[in-house]
Amino acid sequence: MRGRWRAYRREALRDDLVAAFIVAVLLIPQSLAYALLAGLPPQAGLYASLLPMAAYAALGSSSVNSVGPVAVVALLTAHAIEPVVASGTPATAAALVLAAEAGLLLGAAALFRLDALAALLSTPVLHGFSTGAALAITLSQLPALLGSPAKGFTAPALAGSWWASGVPGHALTAAFGLLALALLWWARRFARPLLSRWLPAHHASLLARCAPLAVVGLSIALAWALAADTRGVALVGTLPAFALPLALPPLDAALWWRLLPSAVPLALVTFVSSLAVSEGLGLRRREQVDARRELTGLAAADLVAACSAGMPVGGSFSRGALNAEAGARTRAAGAWAALLMALAMLLLTAPLAWLPRAVLAASIVIAVLGVVEWRAFAEAWRYSPPEFGVMAGVCALTLFVGSEAALAAGVALSVGLLLQRSANPHVARIGRVGDSEHYRNVDRHAVHCTPGVLALRIDESLLFTNARRLVGVVDAQLAAVPGTQRVVLLMSPVNAIDFSALEALRALHDLLAGRGIRLDLTEVKGPVLDRLRAGGWQHWFRGRVFLSHHQGMRDEGGQGG
């Protein structure tokens, strides 16, 4: 152990400490802002930035992913706890139960190796949801930014609340919010080029990323100098003395049952978005990311948050990128960042009480709008209009209905598109290219077709979703090629075949046999051939199986079924 500590201290400690300090600087305003976004006391965000980070550092996979409060998870938390809070349950209690449920679901997924569930949220769904969530978060922060008491996390709810309140805003609050918004936007656009005139590019980039803390410090100083609390400006207010509360979340069965439907999409989004962060940063550093360990690390982080007065957490791309750019070498940088956050909570409680909430709202708006990829919509439209429709639909549902409905609709639409594609197997008639042994689609290439032989390539796995169409597709091809004596199916693209497809293949075989046409197969993959043999096809298949398609066209070297 001493040897490992000496090696770590010699090789990575300094870099990890520097990265931890820079991440902690950014995390202080973010943790306060995302707690308020979730409808929780600001200290919940601070507590969620302590032990959960250390838990992920111990069990996670990525060396640079920064786990803690994040915007999308905060929005989902706000949506989930809003109904139970309206019925009288304290928001903090609901958030702790939600974090515990998410942690248990992620832990179960790791235990049963269910990391493939990440595929449920396809790229169009994820892009649409993240864009819709960014717009919804921006709208939800406008009242705090301008000093209005209106509340709401969807466009209709916010508009109704704003109309009912009759208060368009508060002048001094709006001044703080808009000034902070302008400064943060300017820093995002121009700080790095400006600093690069006097500093190396690497240092200029790191300092530019710390600009939000400078805006926070300036806002605190102005609020104190103007006695903003006496002028109607909403401040963060006095934070409780730092004493990390460790306790189990409320063991209220009714509350757990009521929040469970919201915990499922929360856990799924947490895993998918955090895995995307880890994999994206891992590619830059040539590191392998273990999806199962990501599940384990995130599960531990959420469970620890539930037992330490925190809130549901996830991976942050902005903090992770900053961590990597600052030179973090190991996951221990996350543990050091948690330690520095604890030190900040001990020393900065009094100054943070003067921070206007409008400034935190401005920091949220800049953060969420800065990661939206508007270009993805144009690319999706050019590539696949149906997938663009999924993306746009999920975005609109997130903005106008709610996140849970949007995610459920997105998963359903993605599955529907998949079934639609797989239900219509692409079967191409192929011919020989020149004197080679290559065979290509007759509609795309100049090829030679062997008289009396219909050669077809099946470009899908044969499953229950498309098996019933196989006979009809082949029969339609036969109608276009009279005088066919043999049908040769090139099976190399077929990776799997189920019982429904086995029955369909038998029906095709019998149909062709009744017309005096022999059915042959070429380039059948080993696992597919194993399934055919397990289905007893040797008892009814009278054609031949060829190792290569060229042999099949020449009718040499084949084996019987």
pLDDT tens-place string over residues 477-533: 998 888 899 999 999 999 999 999 999 999 999 999 999 999 999 999 999 999 999
pLDDT of 173 above 70: yes
Q: State pLDDT tens for residues 294-338.
A: 999 999 999 999 999 999 999 887 777 767 766 677 888 888 888
Q: How far apart are CA 233 and CA 226, in angstroms?
A: 10
Res 326: pLDDT: 67
Residue 467 has a CB neighbour count (10 Å cut-off) of 22
Amino acid (1-letter code) at residue 409? A
Distances from the Cα of 398 to the Cαs of 122, 388, 395, 404, 505, in angstroms?
16, 15, 5, 8, 44
Tokens found for residue 12? 């990575």
Sheet holding 439-441, edge to edge: 439-441, 427-432, 453-458, 486-490, 518-522, 544-546, 559-560
Residue 51 has a CB neighbour count (10 Å cut-off) of 23
Tokens found for residue 198? 């006097």
pLDDT of 7 above 80: no
Q: State pLDDT tens for residues 246-271.
A: 899 999 999 999 999 999 999 988 99
pTM assigned to the model: 0.80
pLDDT of 125 above 90: no
Res 274: pLDDT: 86
Q: Kindly indicate the confidence band of residue 10, based on its pLDDT and cuts at 50, 70 and 90.
A: low
Q: How far apart are CA 60 and CA 307, in angstroms?
A: 19
Residue with tokens 């060396």: 63
Residues 314 and 38: beta-carbon distance below 8 Å: no
Q: How far apart are CA 458 and CA 462, in angstroms?
A: 9
Pairing of strands 559-560, 453-458: unpaired
User: Is the backbone of residue 165 left (phi > 0), alpha (psi -120 to 50) or beta?
Assistant: alpha
Structural domains of the chain sorted by starting position, each given as residue range(s) with its CATH number in brackets: 11-417 (no CATH), 427-560 (3.30.750.24)
Residues 55 and 300: beta-carbon distance below 8 Å: yes
Q: How far apart are CA 153 and CA 169, in angstroms?
A: 18
Q: How far apart are CA 307 and CA 383, in angstroms?
A: 46
pLDDT of 559 above 80: no
Percent share of the chain, pLDDT over 70 = 96
Res 21: pLDDT: 80
Residue with tokens 């189920």: 498
3-state secondary structure of 219: helix
Tokens found for residue 452? 């009396």
Backbone angles phi, psi at 414, to 5 degrees: -65, -45
Crossing angle of helices 155-165/123-146, nearest 10°? Answer: 10
Residues 176 and 215: beta-carbon distance below 8 Å: no
CA atoms within 13 A on the CB side of 303: 15
Res 541: pLDDT: 92
Sign of CA dihedral 343, 348, 349, 353: negative
Instruction: Taking residues 129-149, report their average pLDDT.
Output: 89
pLDDT of 14 above 80: no
CA atoms within 13 A on the CB side of 495: 1
Mean pLDDT over the full length of the chain: 87
H/E stretch holding 299 reads helix 291-306
Q: How far apart are CA 31 and CA 162, in angstroms?
A: 26
- Among 361, 275, 359, 259, smallest CA distance to 312 is for 259
Residues in the chain, total: 561
Residue of 12 and 102 predicted with greater confidence: 102
Res 370: pLDDT: 75
Residue 469 has a CB neighbour count (10 Å cut-off) of 15
Q: How far apart are CA 308 and CA 41, in angstroms?
A: 14
Angle (nearest 5°) at CA 286 between 56 and 270: 35
3-state secondary structure of 490: strand
Tokens found for residue 19? 């990265």
Backbone angles phi, psi at 374, to 5 degrees: -65, -30
Q: How far apart are CA 101 and CA 105, in angstroms?
A: 6
Task: Give a three-class secondary structure readout of 69-117.
Answer: CCHHHHHHHHHHHHHHHHCCCCHHHHHHHHHHHHHHHHHHHHHCCCHHH
pLDDT of 2 above 70: no
Residue with tokens 């152990």: 1
Residue 315 has a CB neighbour count (10 Å cut-off) of 29
